Each structure stands twice: as C-alpha cells, then as structure tokens.
Amino acid sequence: MKINFKRYSIYLIRWQLTTPLLAWCLIVFSSLGATWAAVIANLMGGMIFYFVDQFIFQSEKLDASWQVREKVVCADCKAVTRGYRLVKSKNYDRSRDKHPEFRCELCSTIKTKKMKEQGVYVEYI
C-alpha cells in the first residue's frame, strides 16, 4: 500500500484539533449528563470535520493530478483501451499540452516508473 504522507500528516494534525473541541463541548454540556454531552460533542465534531476530511482526502492540491479517458489509443502499444496520463505533480506540468499522450494501464505503469527514475515526483493516494 502506498501512502501519501502529505495527506496523512495533515490528517494527523486534524485529528489533534478535535480534542479541544470535544473537551469544550463536554465541559459546556456537562449539565446534560456525560452521555448527552458526548453525543453533542461528536455531532458538532462531525459537522465541522466532515468538510475538513473531504478536503484532505479529495483535494487535488494534495496529490498528483491524473487524467483518465475511455477508448483511447495507447501512445506506446497502440491498444484501444482506457487511457491514463499524469497531468501535473510537484515538479511536472503538462496541463497545457496540446497533444496529450494517454497510455494503457501497463504502459502507464512502465512510463511512471521511468518518470520517477528521471526525478518526476509522483505521489499516490
């Protein structure tokens, strides 16, 4: 399993930020009893951190940007299949490419390995 350490680090920081919120809710709503205070704290945390988690796990800013198309001709083996191409990463940008090259899954994996060997930064989810 490949881990995107940038996402993981941000998630761990986010996890630490829940503690003060939950503690505050438990103190403020303690007159309702421990169970109800915990329920309210978890609901408030869920309402806030749902959107934060969505950003962490779905943001293109935290990951390499890939483009996928159906029924393309692979630039290497010429097979007609689902095609993949790396569009943008930390030190690679082909977002304005007028003639993008898509590759089948196997050829894309081979090309990605070569690009990594050449120093292109490719991080996975």
- Residue 73: beta bridge partners? 80
Report whether pLDDT(3) > 70: no
Between CA 104 and CA 108 the distance in angstroms is 6
Mean pLDDT of 19-42: 93
Structural contact between residues 7 and 62, judged by C-beta atoms closer than 8 angstroms: yes
Q: Which residue type is seen at 84?
A: Y
pLDDT reported for residue 60: 63
* The one-letter amino acid at 124: Y
The amino acid occupying position 52 is V
Please classify residue 66 by burial: count the beta carbons closer than 10 Å to its beta carbon, then call 0-12 exposed, 13-18 middle and 19+ buried.
Answer: middle
pTM given for the model = 0.50
| DSSP structure class, residue 80 | E
pLDDT tens, position by position, 59-112:
766 666 778 899 999 999 999 999 999 888 878 888 888 999 999 999 999 999
Q: What's the mean pLDDT in 9-19?
A: 89
**30 close to 37: Cβ distance less than 8 angstroms:** yes
Q: How far apart are the first and last CA of the chain?
A: 9
